[in-house]
Amino acid sequence: MGLFTRRKTVFVDSDILVVGGGMSGCGATYESRYWGRDLKIVCVEKANIERSGAVAQGLYAINCYMGMQWDENQPEDHVRYARNDLMGLVREDLGYDIARHVDSTVHKFEEWGLPIMRDPDTGRYQREGKWQIMIHGESYKPIVAEAARKAATEVYNRIMVTHLLMDQKRPNRVAGAVGFNVRTGDFYVFRAKAVIVAAGGASHIFKPRAVGEGMGRTWYAPWSSASAYALPILAGAKMTQMENRIVLTRFKDGYGPVGAYFLHLKTYTENAYGQDYEAFWRDSIEEMVGDYVNHHPVPTCLRNHALLEEVKAGRGPIRMVTKEAFQDPHKETVGWENFLGMTIGQAVVWASQNIDPKEINPELTTSEPYVMGSHATCSGAWASGPEDYAPAEYQWGYNRMMTVEGLFGGGDAIGGTAHKFSSGSFTEGRIAGKAAVKYVNDLGNDAPQVSEAEYEDLRKAIYQPMENYEIGRNEIVGGTVSPSYLLPLHGLQRLEKIMDEYVGGISAHYTTNEPLLTRGLELLTMLKEDLAHLGAEDLHQLQRAWELHHRVLASESVAQHTMFRQETRWPGYYYRADHPKLDDQDWHCFTLSRYDRESGKWEMEKAPVYHIVD
Ligand SMILES: Cc1cc2nc3c(=O)[nH]c(=O)nc-3n(C[C@H](O)[C@H](O)[C@H](O)COP(=O)(O)OP(=O)(O)OC[C@H]3O[C@@H](n4cnc5c(N)ncnc54)[C@H](O)[C@@H]3O)c2cc1C
């Protein structure tokens, strides 16, 4: 037991605890302070908020800006756009709520020093597309983090949150969180009246295209480890649309973004024989999904589908035609700067593969699936909507509160609202922060109580992988392999293989069916059992161990939801081969799940989709 007693336990009390200091966590911290001047607001982050989360490396565009000051778009337009892209299924109340506030967020970013490009003729923000504005965004995250740092009572960096704590008296009420410092190993008990989960989405749950020495090279940040899902799932929160994983068409091998290329540089795609292939697949797509293929813009998943079918038909590779646009020196500069501001790796890959886009049209491919609630898909927690706009069925308390009392969320954590992106995630954090302040003020003296037994049990569980390693290393048979423990990397690879082969990853052409899912879930159950035997050599590996726990639970949720939805709603993201068509009759609805941590069972149900905007 030596390991347990060596570690200090640090208690931190707060009114509002924000878990994750990425875009929405920074928004939540900032806004909580605005409305809760006298409250204690704590932000806890597993990295350092200065450069953490999906925006760590910077961005070249803010993808969600209405431009209401110039009458460019209205919030209703954005709801229509997101609904169309998600094949009809979005929480329109939540999306509208973000869209009506997002412009003010962007104006704040500019005020705080973010350079936003301007159109020299109109003086307005330079548009990349209908919703995107262009920024010099290498320092986007530090600028946003500074606002959160100044607003927070305290920011705790380098602490991985592993579990939420529940109220002693009311089991469906949150009371805080626990975690450990990834540098010192100290154990942290955060006691809070309200908790806002803003811990990002999930990469590395499906096997990536790049394995071995390249395995860290994924489109989505490799450190996005599904905590935004696992933490609420373990606390009993209902989740929605977890089957709606995202697959991205990106430049091959470097996952470089294509948005600026399509929208600003006006490049286009062609097959290996120089043909435009998208129109070729229109009729067969219409057979699968009906009229959705005729909508404008064509939903992202359907464009993926056309690319995948074209490659399967043997007319790959698909290429982006850059040679024409890159003859214009301005466009050439924009093309390269686009990478240098957010995905430097793509420029390096092209250099290493002798690709100059002025001379060679680079290849495109589709990524492995990821789970996120803020980009072009909408997995996440089922949240209460805004009081003035949400239908009664979507309201059970405070805006952005999950189905667990006092537990709020923003960004990737909240389901049903795609196309929030960086600005919308910050905005949703702000909305959650404001609502959490109201919740805390309304609590009065009825504050939740943390049970000592609960956090002491968790303390033992959290450090167990180090104990396993300390004992098991005496049995190492070769290199780092021991028969008595499982290393986090091995567990991760096992997870990725199960998800890839059974739940619709790249090697299965994103295809699955009921028998595959049934077997996949059995294998995931066995993997979950084995997680009790994880071995962690040091604190870094301990973090990897808990990231794996979170990824496995989120993966199980993805598999359960994929099993439940008996249709193929988003061809190009995944296919249920046993239900190959979109079925609006039975499945124009949200899927909801609730996990019972005692029994390990999942309860599934449908929830109605209300179309509030015409
Ligand atoms: C590759 C890529 C490109 C993108 N491009 C654009 C773009 O061009 N324009 C645009 O507007 N948007 C873009 N986005 C979207 C934008 O980055 C996200 O919408 C936004 O970052 C989501 O905010 P979030 O707070 O939910 O997650 P994040 O910003 O990722 O923040 C999550 C935070 O939680 C922390 N965390 C995770 N787990 C734990 C834990 N257990 N304990 C403590 N802390 C934890 C993480 O370290 C991180 O800081 C892009 C996203 C990706 C992945």
The string of pLDDT tens digits covering residues 431-451 is 999 999 999 999 999 999 999
Q: What is the pLDDT of residues 521-553, one digit of tens each?
A: 999 999 999 999 999 999 999 999 999 999 999
**What is the arithmetic mean of pLDDT over 135-156?**
97
Q: What is the 3-state secondary structure (H, E, C) of 402-428?
A: CCCECEEECHHHECCCCCCHHHHHHHH
Which residues neighbour 191 within 8 Å (Cβ) at sequence distance 6 or greater? 11, 12, 13, 14, 165, 175, 176, 450
CA–centroid distance, 22 to ligand 1, in Å, is 6
Cis? peptide before 317, omega within 30° of 0: yes
Closest CA to 200 of 516, 440, 551: 551
Question: Closest ligand 1 atom to the C-alpha of 343?
Answer: 1
Query: Rounded CA gap, 506 and 521, in Å?
Result: 18
What angle, 0 to 180 degrees and rounded to 10, lies between the N-to-C axes of helices 421-443 and 23-35?
Answer: 40
pLDDT at 239: 98
Length of the chain: 614
Tens of pLDDT, residue by residue over 414-437, are 999 999 999 999 999 999 999 999
> Distance, CA 425 to ligand 1 centroid (Å)?
8
pLDDT value of position 477: 86
Which segments of 144-275 are extended strands (E)?
Answer: 154-156, 159-166, 174-181, 187-197, 239-240, 249-251, 268-270
- The confidence score (pLDDT) of residue 263 equals 86
Q: Which two tokens stand for residue 366?
A: 């589709």
Query: Is 4 a residue whose pLDDT tops 60?
Result: no
- Among 209-218, 323-332, 575-584, which is the least confidently predicted range? 209-218
**216, pLDDT greater than 90:** no
Lowest average pLDDT, out of 65-79, 206-220, 262-276, goes to 206-220
User: Ligand 1 centre from 546 Cα, in Å?
Assistant: 19
pTM, two decimals, is: 0.97
Percent of the chain with pLDDT over 70: 99
Structure tokens at 168: 């002693």
By the 8 A CB rule, do 230 and 197 touch? no
Question: How does pLDDT run across 494-503, given as a tens digit for each residue?
Answer: 999 999 999 9
Tell me the chain's radius of gyration from C-alpha atoms. Answer: 23
pLDDT of residue 556 exceeding 50, the answer is yes
Secondary structure class of 181 (helix, strand, coil): strand
128-141 average pLDDT score: 94
* Cα 67 from Cα 276, distance rounded (Å): 33
Measured from the Cβ of residue 237, the count of other Cβ atoms closer than 10 Å reads 27
pLDDT at residue 191 is higher than 90? yes
Q: Which two tokens stand for residue 387?
A: 């009081």
* Residue 489: predicted pLDDT: 95
Give the mean pLDDT of the chain. 96
Question: Which residue carries 């500074």 as its tokens?
Answer: 146
Ligand 1 pocket: which of 425, 427, 458 to mutate (most atoms within 8 A of CB): 425
Cβ atoms of residues 278 and 146 within 8 Å: no
Tokens of residue 156, six digits: 């705790």
Q: Quick one: pLDDT at residue 5? A: 57
- Measured distance CA(77)–CA(102) in Å, rounded: 13
Question: DSSP assignment of 183-212, as one string?
Answer: TT--EEEEEEEEEEE----B-SSS--SS-G
Tell me the CA–centroid distance for residue 82 and ligand 1, in Å: 19
Is the pLDDT at 1 greater than 60, yes or no?
Answer: no
Predicted confidence (pLDDT) at residue 277 exceeds the cutoff of 50:
yes
Q: CA-to-CA distance for 536 and 104, rounded, in angstroms?
A: 45
Tokens of 460: 């033992």
pLDDT digits (tens, 9 = 90+) for 369-399: 999 999 999 999 999 999 999 999 999 989 9
pLDDT of residue 557: 98
Residues with CB under 6 A from ligand 1: 19-25, 44-47, 52-55, 59, 61-63, 160-161, 198-200, 219-221, 223-225, 227, 374-375, 411-412, 420-423, 425
> For 287-321, how does the pLDDT look when each residue is reduced to its tens digit (9 = 90+)?
999 999 999 999 999 999 999 999 999 999 999 99
Find, among 47, 35, 37, the residue nearest to 141 by Cα.
Answer: 47
Identify whether the C-beta of residue 161 lies closer than 8 Å to the C-beta of residue 231: yes
pLDDT value, residue 478? 80
482: pLDDT strictly greater than 90: no
Give mean pLDDT, residues 248-270: 92
Residue 398 C-alpha to ligand 1 middle, in angstroms?
24
pLDDT at 455: 98
Token pair for residue 110?
């500019």
d(CA 94, CA 584): 22
